[in-house]
């Protein structure tokens, strides 16, 4: 039996203690074996599940998923604490100092006219804090682990701040069309590396259009995925209704059902 006080209600420090026990000799063999790398994906998955709970507007689900995400944060911190690098208090200390530094209009004597000026000051303070002396440095500091569509959007926004941007969405739309033509040409040449390059350029340009239209490209793509699933479900159900297997039907037959599904889904 571990040395632990059982309670009706626990707090964050109990959470910290539980992770410590799980990672200690006599704790859980699986937890003891884990490294930053082995649970990296867990952290990402829990973050996305928090987002799903937000999208569902479900406070109880959100509470649960935030707990799972907090567990990942405490777990990663504990790994470093065992090495003597830092602990949870150090993590909190750094975060608090960052918030105080980036909010001089709250914790200092700076006046701001509104949220737009807050964001402008935040960006300037962040660049100073991270020694980002060039715009390129702000771009390379965008995490490569971000979903590629979000990373592209953040990079484009940094270019926009120094005027490197189309004056309106028409330029972005023209560029999207141009990249489509270049992808067709690369496909005709049959060079896979060139095809990959041009496909990447096409996706980057599509994100640019989304940014001009104030649309989150990740959200837009997720909605398209859901829409496709709904229409595919209709095709599959209709094929079953007529006693056919989809794999035995022609593309023309399937496309006819799919187009019918577009009217319903």
Q: What is the pLDDT of residue 185?
A: 97
Give pLDDT, residue 122.
Answer: 83
Instruction: Report d(CA 246, CA 237) in Å as an integer.
Output: 10
Taking the CA atoms of residue 80, residue 95, residue 147 and residue 225 in that order, the dihedral angle to the nearest 10 degrees is 110
pLDDT at residue 76 is higher than 70:
yes
Q: Are 82 and 23 in contact (CB under 8 A)?
A: yes
Q: What is the mean pLDDT of residues 105-121?
A: 88
Average pLDDT of the chain is: 94
Is 254 in contact with 235 (CB distance < 8 Å)? yes
Domain 12-91 sits in CATH 1.10.287.1080: yes
**CB 75, CB 108: distance < 8 Å:** no
Q: What tens digit of pLDDT does each residue of 196-246 get?
A: 999 999 999 999 999 999 999 999 999 999 999 999 999 999 999 999 999
In this predicted structure, the answer to whether residue 249 has a pLDDT above a threshold of 70 is yes
- Give the pLDDT of residue 21: 96
pTM for this predicted structure: 0.75
pLDDT at 264 over 80: no
Instruction: Give pLDDT, residue 1.
Output: 67
| Phi, psi torsion values for 207, nearest 5 degrees | -65, -40
State the pLDDT at residue 147.
Answer: 92
pLDDT of residue 79: 98
Choices 2.30.140.10, 3.40.50.1100, 1.10.287.1080, 3.40.50.970: CATH for 139-215:
1.10.287.1080
Q: What is the pLDDT of residue 251?
A: 96
Residue 173 pLDDT: 98
Taking residues 58-68, what's their average pLDDT? 97
Q: Is it the case that residue 130 has pLDDT exceeding 90?
A: no
Handedness of CA 79, 85, 87, 92 (dihedral sign): negative
Same fold, 12-91 and 139-215: yes
Q: Which two tokens stand for residue 152?
A: 């592209």
Token duo for residue 127: 């660049």
**DSSP H helical ranges for the chain:** 12-23, 29-33, 40-55, 59-83, 88-102, 104-107, 115-129, 135-140, 148-160, 169-189, 192-212, 217-241, 251-262
Which among 262, 250, 195 is positioned nearest to 224, based on CA atoms? Answer: 262
What per-residue confidence (pLDDT) applies to 265?
A: 60
Do 47 and 69 touch, CB atoms closer than 8 A? yes
Residue extents of the structural domains in the chain:
12-91, 139-215, 219-262
Q: What is the DSSP letter of 248?
A: G
Residue whose tokens read 């989150």: 216
């Amino acid at each position: 039996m571990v040395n632990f006080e059982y309670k009706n209600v626990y707090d964050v420090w109990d959470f910290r203690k539980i992770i410590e026990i799980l990672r200690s000799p006599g704790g859980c063999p699986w937890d003891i074996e884990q490294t930053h790398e082995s649970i990296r994906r867990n952290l990402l998955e829990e973050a996305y599940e928090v987002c799903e709970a937000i999208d569902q507007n479900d406070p109880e689900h959100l509470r649960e998923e935030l707990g799972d995400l907090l567990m990942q944060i405490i777990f990663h911190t504990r790994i470093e604490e065992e090495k003597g690098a830092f602990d949870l208090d150090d993590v909190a200390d750094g975060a608090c100092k960052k918030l105080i530094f980036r909010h001089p209009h709250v914790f200092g004597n700076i006046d701001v006219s509104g949220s737009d000026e807050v964001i402008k000051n935040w960006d300037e303070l962040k660049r100073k804090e991270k020694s980002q002396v060039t715009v390129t440095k702000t771009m390379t500091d965008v995490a490569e682990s971000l979903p590629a569509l979000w990373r592209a959007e953040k990079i484009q926004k940094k270019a926009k701040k120094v005027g490197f941007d189309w004056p309106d969405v028409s330029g972005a739309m023209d560029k999207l069309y141009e990249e489509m033509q270049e992808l067709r040409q690369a496909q005709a040449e049959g060079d896979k590396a060139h095809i990959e390059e041009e496909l990447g350029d096409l996706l980057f340009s599509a994100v640019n259009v989304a940014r001009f239209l104030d649309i989150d490209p990740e959200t837009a793509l997720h909605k398209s995925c859901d829409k496709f699933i709904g229409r595919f479900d209709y095709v599959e159900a209709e094929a079953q209704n007529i006693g056919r297997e989809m794999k035995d039907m022609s593309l023309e037959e399937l496309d006819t059902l799919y187009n019918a599904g577009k009217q319903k889904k």
